[in-house]
């Protein structure tokens, strides 16, 4: 198999089964971060990226069954399975406050017919309800206009403010690039004690645990 010359030393260093097996891909993932250019990346950034890469883990688009076992209609007892729904996060997700919601790809139901159809059903994408809203950041001392969902606004209200939501929520649950950039600006503003102008000194003490 022909591969790019840039990755030839990396591919041919290990046996073929390592490159194409599931267990080997996990090994190569760890190996890549401990060798080459990636090994010089600061460990705190590597931990940040690994956590962000996981993505939102909260069950948003379905309600999982919390029981361990269940009985079917024939009386057989089987363990409960809660498969995750595959969610797509488009570029528009990273520019707004969606609260972990994404786009779900499904299939349209076929119309009832007496004959069997071999035509594959048409795909359908389920988008969350979006609207344009404004949030206020006390640390940055500015209003931010973005596209958001009702769940995103609910999470901000439950955290008692946009700043608390951004600073206290794990990075994999935030996941959006724009929100993570705002988090970086907030932390830099809090770290600059002399030039902090987001409000009074009491407001800075309010978020002192993140300094």
10-residue mean pLDDT profile of the chain (211 residues): values are: 57 69 74 79 88 87 85 88 86 93 89 84 91 92 93 94 93 94 91 65 73 72
What is the per-residue pLDDT for 10?
Answer: 61
Query: Rounded to two decimals, what is the model's pTM?
Result: 0.77
What is the per-residue pLDDT for 206?
Answer: 79
Which tokens hold the place of 143?
Answer: 């209003």
What is the per-residue pLDDT for 202?
Answer: 67
What is the per-residue pLDDT for 192?
Answer: 79
Which tokens hold the place of 193?
Answer: 């004690």
What is the per-residue pLDDT for 110?
Answer: 84
143 bridge partner residues: 136
What is the per-residue pLDDT for 173?
Answer: 92
What is the per-residue pLDDT for 90?
Answer: 92
Listed in sequence order, the residues at least 6 apart from 24 whose beta carbon sits closer than 8 Å to its beta carbon are 14, 17, 18
> Are the C-beta atoms of residues 84 and 118 closer than 8 Å to each other?
no
Backbone angles phi, psi at 181, to 5 degrees: -65, -40
What is the per-residue pLDDT for 155?
Answer: 94
What is the per-residue pLDDT for 27?
Answer: 74
What is the per-residue pLDDT for 120?
Answer: 86
Pair type for strands 103-107 and 87-88: antiparallel
> Are the C-beta atoms of residues 97 and 156 closer than 8 Å to each other?
yes
133 bridge partner residues: 146
């Amino acid at each position: 198999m022909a591969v790019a010359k840039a990755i030839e030393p990396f591919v041919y260093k290990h046996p073929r089964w390592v490159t194409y097996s599931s267990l080997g891909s996990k090994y190569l993932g760890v190996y890549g971060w401990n060798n080459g250019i990636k090994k010089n990346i600061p460990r705190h950034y590597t931990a940040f990226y690994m956590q962000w890469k996981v993505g939102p883990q909260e069950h948003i688009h379905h309600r999982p069954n919390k029981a361990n076992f269940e009985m079917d209609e024939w009386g057989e007892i089987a363990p409960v399975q809660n498969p995750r729904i595959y969610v797509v996060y488009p570029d528009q997700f990273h520019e707004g406050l969606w609260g972990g919601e994404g786009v779900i790809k499904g299939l349209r139901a076929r119309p009832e017919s007496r004959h069997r159809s071999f035509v594959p059903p048409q795909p359908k994408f389920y988008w969350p309800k979006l609207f344009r809203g404004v949030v206020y950041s006390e640390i940055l001392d500015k209003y931010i206009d973005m596209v958001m969902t009702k769940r995103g606004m609910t999470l901000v209200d439950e955290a008692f403010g946009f700043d608390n939501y951004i600073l206290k929520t794990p990075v994999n649950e935030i996941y959006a690039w724009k929100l993570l950039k705002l988090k970086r600006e907030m932390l830099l503003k809090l770290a600059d004690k002399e030039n902090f102008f987001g409000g009074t000194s009491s407001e800075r003490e309010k978020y002192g645990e993140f300094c």
